[in-house]
Amino acid sequence: MKLLTDGTINNPLLGFCLAVISRHAEKWPPTEQVLADEFVDWFGAQSLMTPTAMRELCWMKGIDLSFIALPPELHGFNCSFHDKKEIIISEHEMVPFTHVHTLFHELREMLEHAFVELGHATVTPKQSLEVKAEEFAMAARMETLTRELPAYIEMVGNIEKNWHRYFGYAFLIVFSVVYMFSCVFLPQFEDMISEARRQRYVRT
């Protein structure tokens, strides 16, 4: 136990996984929604994050994040070696919000490696970590907006001019719908675009 406690100082991710295990050990494995909920709190994730903001949040958790040119079929990948953790994301954002989705996906895979290390895998050999990571990324993105929405609503509510306020509410509704839609359908959009590109390539 001493080793584990010491290990978490240089490894915030492992510390987070230990805390999640201690909170949910009785009902293990937790659902992706429960994990996403815990993760958004711990990571300080937000619905709209610039690459710089994402890099800073990762850095605070001991993870190096970089954006580089990757082959079109690869959105990102992660690697861990001892306490060094790294996530690489394709600098080209095919669909808006892809960077955040990919970041959450890669982090979910890292979390699973830590859970396995701690003897508490959440994915059975018959299940796919890829699928779970997609589900998690979707849930985590929805969770960020759910948390931010009350503050946005209050902000718009404080607008004095009536028509400005109505416009604010309308914008908020449209944004929330588009955002939630993108959470659910982003992987399909990406597949559609890569498929279209592949076909174009095959034809020429």
Nearer Cβ to Zn ion (21/89): 89
Quote the least distance from Cβ 138 to Zn ion, whole Å. 13
Pairwise CA distance, residues 106 & 80, whole Å: 11
Segment lying near Zn ion (by CB under 5 A), choices 112-120, 123-131, 168-176, 192-200: 123-131
Question: In sequence order, which residues have a C-beta less than 8 Å from that of residue 52 and are 6 or more positions away?
Answer: none
Site for Zn ion in 128-147 (CB under 5 A): 130
For residue 29, cis peptide bond before it (omega within 30 degrees of 0): yes
Cβ closest to Zn ion, residue 113 vs residue 165:
113
Subset of residues 1 to 20 that bind Zn ion, contact rule: CB under 5 A: none
**DSSP structure class, residue 1:** -
* Min CB(58)–Zn ion separation in Å: 16
Nearest C-alpha neighbor of 35 from the set 117, 121, 140, 129:
140
Q: Are 41 and 144 in contact (CB under 8 A)?
A: no
Nearer to Zn ion by Cβ, of 104 and 179: the residue is 104
Among 41-49, 127-135, 143-151, 170-178, the segment contacting Zn ion (CB under 5 A):
127-135
How far apart are CB 109 and Zn ion at their closest, in Å? 5
The residue count for binding Zn ion (CB under 5 A) is 1
Identify which of residues 83 and 130 has a Cβ nearer to Zn ion in the complex.
Answer: 130
Shortest Cβ 31–Zn ion spacing (Å): 19
Cα separation, 106 vs 89, in Å, equals 9
Q: Which stretch binds Zn ion (CB under 5 A): 10-18, 83-91, 116-124, 125-133?
A: 125-133
The binding site for Zn ion (CB under 5 A) comprises 130
